[in-house]
Chain A
């Protein structure tokens, strides 16, 4: 006798213990099989673009950081670099490298947090807690350099706010050594854990074609074999550092988490390279933002972050539009990865594997 199955619509969220932020995923299921999923947002809309309009850039740079509490540095960096492009403001080499150091530290803590969330969701709390502890040490490094853990406002037009003191550089090097050792160990635990394998391999597959169609970005796209969309490839400082993106071919939950682990190791190498090549010199070149219009993108921890900005002669932001990477990635997750997931238990883990940031999406 065959088991009778019925079509059921199952809502997951808006509040779910495994999710950091509220979103409602409505799954159409047949038995346990997910046939399709639809997303409802609007539980934490900030309207930050509307708040930014008409304000001077000195206020907007602080607002930009508040779009997202996890990857605030890249919002600061993209907004300021867009202003610098508009007004042709030069950046001293030392400041450009310090920007990379802080941006990569931010990427490391974001990736570790994302992988913690995934481990917590598949109920591997031990690894989850190890990762969370490691993240705290990265946050400490960020605080040591910038003076703040989250909204640092470190990057300013023409340079950075504070210089890196020699004792902080030494501390950072030692921190990177410990971090590399720990992350290598956690990667091995993740790669060889039988429970993790059971819950992650072959689940939530995003094919290369689907990733292209949904314009998936960041680690989500790189786990599906797309590496050419990393914006760091077009950034002059990263080009000087010889940056090359990592990618995997599997396109499943396992690959997405592993890509983030690999990128943490890559960020450590980039920070070391910056410290090795850091020249002596000024950290602020000066310059005043003026009138202009630009579309500028940078690589956030979750992928391509784009700012469309129009300013007037006084540097006031007349028009602004922000396209965050989570918009593309969550869409790819809900309309491609979740389709065909064989068990409802895998819905949350697949959703979390795409590192969804609802704060960014709703901005």
Chain B
């Protein structure tokens, strides 16, 4: 018996969506911002999102980038709203922990850049785990 079409593997179609010019630009920017390889980022997005959310990611990303600039520190540098709501690659609870961790480091005397670097390290772990 032939396999029903609607149960087939969607990986190839999801990959085709991410190949468009705008998607490609967005993936490159996010991968550079967080510091993960582009291939890993594409795989993570394909595993995590359905086809429609993947299609809509560039519009959400552009919208999220505008809001990012208005956020306080360290949320702005971490892209807290951008990566939990606009392009939801990090769960909200985990992002809260990351922000708390960064604030704790700053309170203990670390510079904001160092603390944000360590926060992004945690984000990288989430994505590459």
Contacts and interface: CB of A to CB of B under 8 A. Distances in A.
Interface of A: 11, 14, 24, 38-43, 45, 49, 212-215, 308, 319, 321, 323, 327-328, 330-331, 334-335, 361
B108 to A, nearest CB: 34
Interface in B2-19: 5-6, 10, 13
Given A321-B21, A335-B53, A215 B13 contact: no
A327 B60 contact: no
Contacts of A38: 50
Contacts of B5: 43
Nearest to A26: B50
Contacts, number: 59
13 contacts: A39-B51, A40-B50, A42-B51, A212-B63, A213-B85, A214-B56, A214-B60, A319-B21, A327-B56, A330-B52, A331-B52, A331-B55, A334-B50
B48 to A, nearest CB: 11
Given A42-B10, A308-B22, A323 B59 contact: yes
A41 B4 CA distance: 14
B6 A327 contact: no
B59 A328 contact: yes
A304 to B, nearest CB: 9
A331 B56 contact: yes
Nearest to B55: A327
A308 B52 contact: no
Q: Which 7 A-B pairs have the closest CB atoms?
A: A331-B56, A39-B52, A215-B59, A38-B50, A42-B13, A41-B51, A327-B55
B115 interface: no
A107 to B, nearest CB: 21
A339 to B, nearest CB: 13
Interface of B: 5-6, 10, 13, 20-22, 50-53, 55-56, 58-60, 62-63, 85-86
Given A213-B63, A328-B56, 20 more contacts: A14-B6, A24-B6, A39-B50, A42-B13, A42-B51, A45-B13, A212-B63, A213-B60, A213-B85, A213-B86, A214-B60, A215-B56, A308-B21, A319-B21, A321-B21, A321-B22, A323-B58, A323-B59, A327-B52, A331-B52
Nearest to B59: A215
Contacts of A330: 52
Nearest to A209: B85
Nearest to B22: A321
Main secondary structure on chain B at its contact with chain A?
helix
Contacts of B52: 39, 41, 327, 330-331, 334-335, 361
A82 to B, nearest CB: 15
A330 B60 CA distance: 13
A213 B63 CA distance: 7
Given A40-B6, A308-B21, A361 B55 contact: yes
Nearest to B8: A42
A201 to B, nearest CB: 26
Contacts of A45: 13
Contacts of B10: 40, 42
A51 B11 CA distance: 22
A49 B16 CA distance: 12
A338 to B, nearest CB: 12
B50 to A, nearest CB: 4
A215 B63 contact: yes
Nearest to A24: B6
A218 to B, nearest CB: 13
Contacts of A361: 52, 55
Instruction: Identify which of B21, B51, B53 gathers the most chain A CB atoms within 10 Å of its CB.
Output: B51
Nearest to B23: A321
Instruction: Identify which of A38, A215, A308, A328 gathers the most chain B CB atoms within 10 Å of its CB.
Output: A215
Contacts of A49: 20
Contacts of B56: 214-215, 327-328, 331
Contacts of A43: 5
